[in-house]
């Protein structure tokens, strides 16, 4: 009988010991998770330029873990009620818990019972737990520090100032992208008429386009670029698209891999600027006559609709012009 009693007692102690380990493991797991989660928040905040939001989120997580830890300390003795065995705690831990909670022992609760009686319910005159006061004082300190940092000494910018700064940075970035031509495409391209842009376009044309189109755009292997007729349509958008994508079937490569959009815009503008120059030895017209929507000097509309006219060249009658329905022409410009 004594042996069985000892065995049951040992099992009971082992079970109790295992129960005691659960909160410790839980606390360690919570703090480990908090550290990992908070570090991820800081990393993401830094990458996304949201340091303030990451810090606030991290503080909220730490605060939540702290509250859970305090609840475990305060309510940790509840599991010993069924066992009838008082938990063994070190004097230092007991002293720390008492300072943190200032809890009145159960045997002394009769000393702090208030005289008021509400339907048989009596109220204890407990003091506010110190840990709660610490949190309250912490919010006051945080508010004072926040006011000094953001509103008095202006050490950190306010959210509105950060927003304005981000807008300015985005505008600078946009200007840089415009300079490099990253925002230019066949839908947004515009005709350039300033001398610097046309000079740059002429330089690129001389370097890359002369073998096929001639030094004056009169046409050799490729079509004449100075007349009114275009295989793929005139206007800045059509010319830009043709240069950008090329015409592989006719031996014209895509220049988008060699010239950035800004350079292609300059070359396209230069090609349009030589319209009507009638250089000597000009090649016979090819394609359809392009009718501009704007009667400027260059003969090119402000916003060409990528639509060509219906006038075709009859190559069988000494370059006479006749009107006929539009047909698909396999020749490229």
Q: Which pLDDT tens digit goes with each residue over 118-130?
A: 888 888 888 888 9
pLDDT of residue 119: 83
Q: Is residue 302's pLDDT more than 70?
A: no
How far is Cα 325 from Cα 27, in angstroms, rounded to an integer?
84
Length of the chain: 333
* Full-model pTM: 0.44
Q: Does 215 have pLDDT greater than 70?
A: yes
Q: Tell me how far apart the alpha carbons of residues 163 and 79 are, in angstroms, rounded to a whole number.
A: 52
How far is CA 311 from its chain centroid? 50
Are 186 and 240 in contact, with CB atoms under 8 Å apart?
A: yes
Close Cβ partners of 215 (under 8 Å, ≥ 6 residues apart): 206
* Structure tokens given for 79: 């599991």
CA distances from 305 to 23, 184, 186, 297, 309 (A): 74, 17, 12, 19, 11
The answer to whether residue 308 scores a pLDDT higher than 90 is no
Q: How far apart are alpha carbons 235 and 238 in whole angstroms?
A: 6
Main-chain phi, psi angles of 63, to 5 degrees:
-65, -40
Q: Are 199 and 190 in contact (CB under 8 A)?
A: no
Is 228 in contact with 299 (CB distance < 8 Å)? Answer: yes
Contact predicate 279/217, CB 8 Å: yes
Contact present, 225 and 213 (Cβ < 8 Å): yes
> By mean pLDDT, which of 4-8, 71-75, 221-225 is the weakest?
4-8
Alpha helices, DSSP H, located in 78-158? 91-101, 130-147
Percent of the chain with pLDDT over 70: 67
Q: What strands lie across the sheet with 311-313, from one edge to the other?
A: 229-230, 288-289, 311-313, 321-323
H or E stretch at 272: helix 261-273
pLDDT for 94: 78
Q: What is the mean pLDDT of the chain?
A: 76
pLDDT in tens, 44-99: 544 554 567 777 888 888 888 888 877 776 666 555 555 555 556 567 877 887 88
SS3 124: strand
pLDDT (tens digit per residue) in 282-298 = 999 999 998 876 433 33
């Amino acid at each position: 009988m004594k042996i069985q009693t000892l065995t049951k007692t040992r099992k009971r102690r082992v079970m109790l010991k295992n129960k005691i380990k659960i909160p410790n493991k839980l606390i360690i797991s919570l703090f480990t998770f908090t550290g990992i989660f908070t570090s991820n928040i800081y990393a993401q905040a830094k990458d996304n330029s949201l340091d303030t939001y990451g810090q606030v989120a991290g503080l909220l997580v730490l605060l939540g873990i702290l509250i859970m830890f305090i609840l475990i300390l305060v309510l940790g003795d509840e599991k010993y009620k069924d066992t009838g065995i008082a938990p063994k705690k070190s004097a230092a831990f007991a002293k720390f818990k008492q300072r943190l909670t200032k809890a009145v022992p159960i045997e002394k609760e009769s000393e702090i019972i208030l005289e008021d009686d509400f339907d048989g319910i009596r109220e204890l005159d407990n003091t506010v737990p110190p840990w709660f006061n610490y949190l309250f004082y912490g919010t006051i300190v945080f508010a004072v520090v926040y006011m000094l940092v953001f509103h008095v000494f202006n050490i950190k910018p306010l959210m509105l100032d950060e927003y304005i700064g981000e807008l300015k940075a985005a505008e600078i970035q946009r200007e840089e992208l415009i300079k490099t031509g990253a925002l230019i495409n066949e839908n947004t391209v515009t005709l350039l008429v300033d001398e610097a842009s046309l000079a740059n376009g002429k330089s690129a044309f001389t370097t890359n386009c002369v073998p096929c189109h001639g030094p004056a755009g009169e046409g050799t292997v490729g079509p004449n670029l100075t007349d009114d007729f275009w295989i793929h349509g005139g206007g800045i958008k059509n010319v830009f698209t043709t240069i950008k994508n090329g015409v592989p079937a006719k031996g014209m490569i895509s220049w988008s891999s060699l010239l950035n959009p800004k350079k292609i815009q300059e070359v396209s503008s230069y090609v349009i600027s030589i319209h009507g120059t009638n250089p000597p030895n000009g090649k016979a017209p090819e394609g359809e006559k392009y009718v501009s929507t704007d009667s400027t000097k260059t003969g090119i509309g402000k916003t060409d609709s990528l639509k060509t006219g219906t006038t075709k060249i009859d190559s069988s009658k000494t370059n006479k012009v006749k009107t006929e329905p539009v047909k698909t022409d396999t020749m490229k410009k």
